[in-house]
Amino acid sequence: MSVLAGCSGAAEKDAASSPGPTASPSVSPSEQVRSGGRVGAAGSACLLPVGFDLAAEWKADAIDGSAADAEADGGGAAEVDEDMASLLRQGPVTLVCEIDAKPAGHLGFLRVYTGESGDGGDARAVLQAFVTAQDGAKKARYSTFEAGGLPGVAVEYLATSELLDETKQESAFAVVTPDGPVVVHLGGADTEEHQDMLPAFELARKTLRTV
């Protein structure tokens, strides 16, 4: 499984003085991508506090993050591989659903992270902690939105991979539900792939609803 390797005040100052991530397309996602069903509700591939539309042919799979949470909380999961536990958890949230773009012809994932009720504060605080936890993240640009009656915060930023020695664009958004925070992240093999997948990311954001 390929898992995401996420802004501090310094990064925001950097964003103000340096070129940041390329802006998302302003066209409606419905003009670029069609829905292939929803994920999040009971009976779907991933049970989440929210539901949203998937782009056609993208495939969702649930990730069991309970072992990683037990490890992070110092519970009785000593046998859990620490590297895997650290990969599943990012800031205040844990990976619970991975939505693969390969069936639709792209190299990347939408990844959904959730936290416990009361974890991380409001949506901006959750998202900032998420981005800060990612090594190599910089030049974050935040914006607000509302979907399904939930106030949310979105971010675009650049991430540098030490393994690939390459900087690429990434995006995420966060909302806080009565059941805890939710972060949806879009990576990609490179910036070009990321931008090709942005319509699917925007479709998820604009169709977000509590379940």
Mean predicted confidence (pLDDT) in 18-44: 66
172 neighbors 186 (Cβ within 8 angstroms):
yes
Cα 109 to chain centroid, rounded: 9
Mean pLDDT of the chain: 81
pLDDT band at 82 (very low <50, low <70, confident <90, very high): low
Nearest CA among 205, 112, 194 for reference residue 159 = 194
| Contact indicator for 51, 60 with CB cutoff of 8 Å | no
- For position 43, what pLDDT does the model report? 94
Tokens at 50, concatenated: 């929210």
- CATH code, 9-20+29-210: 3.40.1000.10
Token look-up 């996420």 returns 6
Q: What is the mean pLDDT of residues 46-55?
A: 97
pLDDT tens for 101-122 read 999 999 999 999 999 988 778 9
**What residue ranges do the domains of the chain occupy?**
9-20+29-210
Per-residue model confidence as pLDDT tens digits over 150-178: 999 999 999 987 776 789 999 999 999 99
Residue 3, token pair as written in the block = 């898992």
In this prediction the pTM is 0.79
| Residue 28: pLDDT band with limits 50, 70, 90 | very low
Residue 10's Cβ-count burial label (10 Å; 0-12, 13-18, 19+) is exposed
